[in-house]
Structure 1
Amino acid sequence: MINCNTLIFSASIGNGHNQAAKALQEEFEKNGYTCEIIDTFKLVSPAFHKVVLESYLQILKFSPIVWGKLYQHTEEHPWFLIMDQFGTFFTERLYSIIQKHKCKSLISVHPFSTAILSKLKRKKNLDIPLYTVITDFVMHPAYIRNEVDGYFTASDHLDYFANLYNIPISKFYSTGIPICSIPALKKPKWKVKYELQLDPEKKTILIAGGAIGLTKFTKILKTLNAIEDKLQLVCITGHNKKAKAKIEQLESKHEIISTGFTNRFTDYLRASDVILSKAGGLTMAESLACETPILIHQPVPGHEEQNAQYLMNYGAAVKAEICEEIPVILEHILFNERYYEAMVQNIKKIQNPYAAKEIISEISKSVNYKKEATTNQQSHD
């Protein structure tokens, strides 16, 4: 048996869910609690995980509109409940893992994991609290299960959602999206630029496409030649090696710095004056924490489009519908000081860099966790 205070169930379908899981794990361990992350599908069925991941990536790459229609359709027709049936095949494997770890709570950061764990609780009559952490700025019925004891979200429509799906409002916590700690938050932008060997005097734009680098980098970079002032363009291409190679061959009037997947993403984000990206939940939450104005372009239809609308409603982001709009919008953000400052002030109203701390605090009020330090001390006595 392994004594573990909590198990966090994620899914490697998009990097954001794993980042949220790491943020929660980091906060648990800061408080002296033991915690382990389970990559749900990868652990219980690597073959099924591969099928789901490849299907998701193919849809996003070649037919994102299909994903958007599926997302919207499930808000009215709950076909996502089919995941509960898939959960039947994984019940025994997950049950043995939970029993082995003797955990006191379960946390899910992906709706598929929530569905499977709910099925497990129901089938095994498992008396362990289950919490779900929503990694977008909007709620979706795919997260809703009777077996869930608490929902942690950035959504500001909790009363409406609770009434619509007949869920006690006490189960909802408005915490924001959990992100890992960002040491650079305490440093001014010029200093972080200097540490990254960037020119502190130049306006800096971070162009990001998520872990899989879906952004059309070269097309965007070519349009930016329309901006007269010379800029510093940081392109983070994630795991997209082809995009990185194309960027390195591109000629531009601006200085271009390209890098693949990096553990210093939030440093670059804090150093930048604007981020140009799609609207992944974790990236947007990190952008808010870093007080970096957001220009959204080509968000994934469905959840990312809703994230974009949420941020635009609060004046924390602007959206470029077509590529040709990007230089015009960027110039307005970068060189209109009053507009830039207004965006920063709007960001401050909705940011929550300490969401993970709030989530752990709320859960620990209900769960009697044992602290690692206390356990170690008792073993020495």
Structure 2
Amino acid sequence: MSQISIFSASIGNGHNEASNALQEQFQLRGDSVTVVDTFQSIHPLLHKLFLDTYLNMLRLTPRLWGKLYEYGEAYSWFLLMDYLGAFFSEQLYSTIRKQRTTVMISTHPFVTAFLAKLKRKKRLDIPLYTVITDFHLHPAYLRPEIDAYFTASPYYDRFAKIYKVPLEKFYYTGIPIKAIPNVCVPRWKIRTDLHVDPYEKTVLIAGGGLGLGNYVEILRTLDHLKKPIQVLIMTGMNTTLNRKLRNYQGKHRIHVIPFTKQFTAYLRASDIVISKAGGLTMSEALACETPIIIYKPVPGHEEQNAEILMELGTALKAEKKEELVVLLEQMLTNPLLYEQMVRRTKCVKQPAAAVNIVSCIHELEKRLKNSNHR
């Protein structure tokens, strides 16, 4: 029986959500599976270092993060993570031995670098699979020790050719998410169940599990809409933001909602979602067939996600707050535009990504065992 270890990182909530979605599907198939918060398990100070550095960079110098991300496509600075990973190989190796791991899965690129270094250093004969939680593919994900890549990028074949990676290592599965509400159930019914107005035009504002984003700026901008609407403000785990927005007075009916396991129900209940372009939130919005307006994505990975989603016709992007009002008015008042975007989400969505990834890994493991028995 396989002992599966999914290595995640609590740097943003998306990596954990993807890990939990996979864990759920493995368990449904009777597998023994554990999710490891990698940097926290190595040492809480290492986790704090990564998290604080990431958040401070996004808050204080987001363009620097974007430049580093862009620079990394031409120069392999990200291989520094392999050298850093060498310092923590023994701690990770201890975790793998303790759990008797036979399959390693990573949902974060830095974690992947650590595991690849461990596999190389200890000469581990354990398959390593990486689940990419963005729509854009970046060479920082690539390591020769990785046995398969699971991606939501429709351009994976082009990427594989550029970086000379065997195409058969890539699986176009989408990003793993948990089960979503039945899209055949009308939005008004879901709104009723969530105790919000069932018949009012509804816009959801999201900033990921950490509640990052320009919430107040967006709310002030929405006050310029011609007609009142209903606004669902998802503040995630940002309790300071939650308290601040509860005192906001504006033109619209506002519901401030902290971190909830019903996030996808609120997504499905909404006519439009305004968000950055985090991979998990975008995947969930597509699965819920909720058109997207991307506003001020994080430079780097989120900007690249935004570009891909716009190319696919499932999202519009507002660079400035004035554009946000114009795009919202168009989507709320132009049924043809709105239905066109809904149709595109139906073509692109991959709600069964977690199921498909688990099935692929089972098949890969079966092939590996058969080859070993020959």
TM-score past 0.5 threshold: yes
- 2:80 equivalent in structure 1: 82
Residue among 99, 102, 117 paired with 1:101: 99
- 1:190 equivalent in structure 2: 188
Q: Distance in 1 between the 2:240 and 2:152 partners? A: 35
- Contact 2:181 2:288 (8 Å CA) reproduced: no
Following superposition, the deviation at residue 30 of structure 1 comes to 1.2
Following superposition, the deviation at residue 184 of structure 1 comes to 4.5
- 1:115 equivalent in structure 2: 113
Once the two structures are superposed, residues 60-114 of structure 1 have per-residue CA deviations (whole angstroms, 9 ceiling, x without a partner) of: 1111111101100111111110111111111112112212222221100011111
Residue among 157, 160, 166 paired with 2:158: 160
Is the partner of 1:211 in helix, strand or coil?
coil
Following superposition, the deviation at residue 223 of structure 1 comes to 1.6
- Contact 1:205 1:234 (8 Å CA) reproduced: yes
Residue identity matched to 1:235: I
- Contact 2:291 2:338 (8 Å CA) reproduced: yes
- 1:232 equivalent in structure 2: 230
Q: Distance in 2 between the 1:117 and 1:96 partners? A: 12
Residue among 31, 35, 38 paired with 2:36: 38
Is the partner of 1:214 in helix, strand or coil?
coil
- Contact 2:23 2:35 (8 Å CA) reproduced: yes
Percent pairwise identity: 52
Residue identity matched to 1:365: E
Q: Distance in 1 between the 2:110 and 2:215 partners? A: 31
- Contact 1:6 1:104 (8 Å CA) reproduced: yes
Once the two structures are superposed, residues 350-381 of structure 1 have per-residue CA deviations (whole angstroms, 9 ceiling, x without a partner) of: 10000111111111012159xxxxxxxxxxxx
- 2:147 equivalent in structure 1: 149
Structure 1 residue ranges without an equivalent (≥5): 370-381
- 1:261 equivalent in structure 2: 259
Residue identity matched to 1:315: G
Farther-moved stretch of structure 1 (94-103 vs 314-323)? 94-103
Q: Distance in 2 between the 1:142 and 1:266 partners? A: 30
- Contact 2:181 2:268 (8 Å CA) reproduced: no
The two structures have a TM-score, normalised by structure 1, of 0.94
Once the two structures are superposed, residues 308-358 of structure 1 have per-residue CA deviations (whole angstroms, 9 ceiling, x without a partner) of: 011100110001111122122111111211110000001111100001111
Once the two structures are superposed, residues 245-290 of structure 1 have per-residue CA deviations (whole angstroms, 9 ceiling, x without a partner) of: 3322222221011122222111100100000000000000000000
Q: Distance in 2 between the 1:296 and 1:120 partners? A: 38
Q: Distance in 2 between the 1:292 and 1:197 partners? A: 19
Once the two structures are superposed, residues 201-237 of structure 1 have per-residue CA deviations (whole angstroms, 9 ceiling, x without a partner) of: 1000001111222222222112212212220001111
Following superposition, the deviation at residue 183 of structure 1 comes to 3.6
Is the partner of 1:237 in helix, strand or coil?
strand
Farther-moved stretch of structure 1 (263-272 vs 95-104)? 95-104
- 1:221 equivalent in structure 2: 219
Residue identity matched to 2:337: Y
Farther-moved stretch of structure 1 (227-236 vs 343-352)? 227-236
- 1:288 equivalent in structure 2: 286
Q: Distance in 1 between the 2:28 and 2:184 partners? A: 19
Farther-moved stretch of structure 1 (153-162 vs 127-136)? 153-162
Is the partner of 1:17 in helix, strand or coil?
helix
Q: Distance in 1 between the 2:147 and 2:330 partners? A: 45
Matched, 1:352 2:350: yes
Query: Which aligned runs of 4 or more in structure 1 are off by greater than 6 angstroms?
Result: none
Q: Distance in 1 between the 2:233 and 2:181 partners? A: 22
Matched, 1:272 2:273: no
Is the partner of 2:286 in helix, strand or coil?
helix
- Contact 1:208 1:237 (8 Å CA) reproduced: yes
Is the partner of 1:176 in helix, strand or coil?
coil
- 1:372 equivalent in structure 2: none
How many positions carry a matched residue from both structures?
367
Q: Distance in 1 between the 2:175 and 2:328 partners? A: 26
- 1:15 equivalent in structure 2: 13
Counterparts of 1:131-146 in structure 2 under 5 Å?
131-146=129-144
- Contact 2:2 2:103 (8 Å CA) reproduced: no
Instruction: Give the superposed CA RMSD.
Output: 1.4
Following superposition, the deviation at residue 242 of structure 1 comes to 3.0
Residue identity matched to 1:121: K
Is the partner of 2:87 in helix, strand or coil?
helix
Residue identity matched to 1:17: H
Counterparts of 1:365-376 in structure 2 under 5 Å?
365-368=363-366
Is the partner of 2:223 in helix, strand or coil?
helix
- 1:91 equivalent in structure 2: 89
- 2:176 equivalent in structure 1: 178
Residue identity matched to 2:39: F
- Contact 2:201 2:230 (8 Å CA) reproduced: yes
Matched, 1:25 2:4: no
The two structures have a TM-score, normalised by structure 2, of 0.95
- 1:210 equivalent in structure 2: 208
- 1:379 equivalent in structure 2: none
